[in-house]
Chains A and B, each alone.
Chain A
Amino acid sequence: MNMPVAKSDISASIPSAPTSAVAKIVPLPLRQTAMNTRLRATFVKVVSAVLPPLIMTILLLTAWQLLCMRPGATLPTPTKIWTEAYDLIVDPFFVAGPQDIGLGWRVLVSLQRVAIGYGLAAVFGIALGTLIGQSVWAMRGLDPIFQVLRTISPLAWLPISLAAFRDSQPSAIFVIFITSVWPIIINTAVGIRNIPQDYRNVAAVLRLNHFEFFWKIMIPSAAPYIFTGLRIGIGLSWLAIVAAEMLTGGVGIGFFIWDAWNSSRLPDIFIALAYIGIVGFVLDRIVAGVASIVTRGTSAN
């Protein structure tokens, strides 16, 4: 009587008694194996995560299409963008000439600048934040200054850095650095200051030296704060690089937008915007992912 039901489909069925002339279809209840419940759960999860944003995207694109189809519309419709910027969309990594390269390459150039600027900001910011967090006087003296400096727009730093470095490449990197360093310093300092007295007592009883205290107590304890700073920092760097490149020129994605505007290639700009948005999102997810691995346990307390 044990009919093995191998199919995972819910409509799995077998013909019943062969005696009757017309075969009657009798649906059998699906056997709930661990495998197909898990598969279904995953499927439902993926669909519920992907479907709503997909539907909204389609709706928004349709609305855009309808709005810009009117005669006299100033912006191109999605279909027009698709046809006119087709080569940019399908191949991010083409090379047709020194200034005619795919958006993928341009994004990589921008990312390289961000990597250097942000990397310096992370190292410098965590180091300075650690120092400030440990000293009440450094905090009192420097915190108000940082709070003022961090509100300055990235672009406002550009003329100063151009004057100082006399070259566009280090200037762009400096702008990234100066934009992303403040939240890293401030959050690290707060994290260090908020190390619970309990952990300090444990360190004191164990007689941990300064080096051990730094690596075994301070950094893990402040890690959630540090990563908050790093996450804000990466977002700001990506915002700043586009603006900086528009002014400094070169190969990056920011300059591409400016160039496209000057040569009236509006569809290209939309494609570049999509690239910037997606890359920014991915950068944020990467830092968030690293944070959740590193701060496992710490934030659960």
Chain B
Amino acid sequence: MTSYCKIDHVDKIYTRGSTETCVLKDITLDIEKGEYVSIIGHSGCGKSTLLNIVAGLTDATTGGVILEGKHVDEPGPDRAVVFQNHSLLPWLTVYDNVRLAVDKVFGGKKSRAERDAWTLHNLNLTQMTHAKDKRPSEISGGMKQRVGLARALAMEPKILLLDEPFGALDALTRAHLQDTVMGLHQKLGNTVMMITHDVDEAVLLSDRIIMMTNGPAAQIGEVLTVPIARPRKRLELVTDPAFLKCRQRVLEFLYERHRFVEAA
């Protein structure tokens, strides 16, 4: 029985001249269909590298990723990425940014009118229809991230990769977007892999939290299953013992056993 998405014994070694830096060591992880998995760790522990390997933007030195029985060796829309810095094309409107992805992925399968409807549908999912004719420079950071999310969802990916999607946002906007992502995950049942360094965010959104040890040669230190039923309510969770316990486990891992010494 193979899993939906399997990260299989992935090592990543960067070679510069004669020095070799091992970033990731022996990462093995199975992700089930519809599961929301967060990867948490200190800065520089290689979690973004891991996401890039799944996305196909970086090659693993040894090992590999298998998605629905198929080996991943190049980037593709079946593994849509929401980048930390939104990466919208500034010369296109919000609509055109999403439409570019829709046209590329569904160019042969859907008619022009269907593609238009699908673009608008995805903008509507992230509540961005109102700004569809604006350019990225005219909307706020949170809105840009919503458009990035709409673009990724519009590709109907097998797995949605979120690379610290809320990292650059203020706390209130972040909470808002987390709720949107949680709602969409509930509604659409996407498989999600998210990189984060925010403990509350990881516990709130995830089914499982993968805790990475510090680099170099980062490994999976601990895996925590979050036993909180969905739908989850932000306000109710604050006093939920299960939430607090999960939160404590992650905090202990990050700040006691694997304290980030260089930052101290």
Contact = CB atoms under 8 A, between A and B. Distances in A.
B81 A205 contact: yes
- Category for how many chain B residues contact A: 20 to 34
Interface in A170-227: 198-199, 201-202, 204-208, 212, 216-217, 220-221, 223
Interface stretch (B86-94, B169-177, B190-198): B86-94
A297 B105 contact: no
Given A297-B137, A301-B136, A206 B89 contact: no
B156 to A, nearest CB: 13
Nearest to A212: B104
Candidate in B57, B79, B91 with the most chain A CB atoms within 10 angstroms: B91
Contacts of B83: 198, 201-202
Interface in B22-56: 55-56
Interface residues of A, number: 21
B77 interface: yes
Contacts of A295: 91
Contacts of B89: 199, 202, 216-217, 220-221
Contacts of B91: 220-221, 223, 295-298
A1 interface: no
Interface in A259-301: 295-298, 300-301
A297 B135 contact: yes
B87 to A, nearest CB: 4
B104 A206 contact: yes
Given A204-B75, A205-B77, A207-B76, A301 B90 contact: yes
A208 B104 contact: yes
Contacts of B101: 206
B87 A198 contact: yes
A193 to B, nearest CB: 18
Classify the interface of chain A: helix, strand, loop or mixed. Answer: helix
Contacts of A202: 83, 87, 89
B100 A206 contact: yes
Interface string B137-160: 100000000000000000100000
B80 interface: yes
B57 A204 contact: yes
A300 B137 contact: yes
Contacts of A221: 89, 91
Given A208-B104, A301-B136, A201 B87 contact: yes
Candidate in A212, A220, A297 with the most chain B CB atoms within 10 angstroms: A297
Nearest to B101: A206
A10 B57 CA distance: 67
Interface of A: 198-199, 201-202, 204-208, 212, 216-217, 220-221, 223, 295-298, 300-301
23 contacts: A198-B85, A199-B87, A201-B75, A201-B83, A202-B87, A202-B89, A204-B56, A204-B74, A205-B75, A205-B80, A206-B100, A206-B104, A206-B105, A207-B74, A207-B77, A207-B104, A216-B89, A296-B91, A297-B92, A298-B90, A298-B91, A300-B135, A300-B137
Given A208-B104, A297-B92, 14 more contacts: A198-B85, A201-B81, A201-B83, A204-B74, A205-B55, A205-B80, A205-B81, A206-B100, A206-B105, A206-B155, A221-B91, A295-B91, A297-B137, A300-B137
